[in-house]
Each structure stands twice: as structure tokens, then as C-alpha cells.
Amino acid sequence: GNSVTQMEGPVTLSEEAFLTINCTYTATGYPSLFWYVQYPGEGLQLLLKATKADDKGSNKGFEATYRKETTSFHLEKGSVQVSDSAVYFCARENNAGNMLTFGGGTRLMVKP
């Protein structure tokens, strides 16, 4: 079946540090891939997405590249801010395009 595996947290960084959160997915079909972010007390928000191999999704300084050969979609940001502290979820779409499977989430804490 479909599954998504992401690195466990928490990830604790200092402000302006480089961020990588790893995500891999099961390679059934050619799913669209997503990163969602959940700020404290809020619902999940779509951060970025990529719909085919080698696509790069980007938003708010975050980037992730759809790597078919390694079935990965790692999230990166060159310089994190305190306001980036949140839980990040990697997700893949099913082949019908109507369902998401989420990873377990990675909590990011950025210290000033």
C-alpha cells in the first residue's frame, strides 16, 4: 500500500541554520507529493507540492524536489526563523488523486 516515512523529531536548530527534513514514499504509481505545516493551535496548511519527477516545489523559502530514483521528497530551507517552529508533514496522493497518506510528522523548534 501507500506509505510515507519521515525523520522523527524533534529537530532543534538555531535561527539562520540550514534545515533538512527527510521524507521517503512507497513507489506505487507516480503520486503527487506534498509538505504540510501545522503551527501550534492551527490546522494543517499546504506548504508546497510537486506533481511529477524532478519537479521542485517551493514556498516561503522552503523547497523540496521530487526524486523518483530515490523515492524521496526532502524538505529544505537555507535559513530558518523562529516563526518556522511547527510540525511538518510529508504526504503522498493515492493513484486516484482523491486521498492523502501522511507521514508521522517532524517537529521543528527554532531557537533565537
Partner 1 sequence: EAGVVQSPRYKIIEKKQPVAFWCNPISGHNTLYWYLQNLGQGPELLIRYENEEAVDDSQLPKDRFSAERLKGVDSTLKIQPAELGDSAVYLCASSSRGVGSYNEQFFGPGTRLTVL
Which residues are near partner 1 by CB under 8 A?
Answer: 4, 32, 36, 41-46, 49, 51, 89, 91, 93, 97-100, 102-105
Shortest Å, Cβ 21 to partner 1: 13
Amino acid making up residue 103:
G
> 112 is written with which cell numbers?
533565537
CA of 66: how far to CAs of 30, 39, 48, 109, in Å? 10, 24, 11, 25
> 86 is written with which cell numbers?
511547527
Shortest Å, Cβ 8 to partner 1: 9
17 vs 26 by CB, closer to partner 1: 26
Shortest Å, Cβ 103 to partner 1: 5
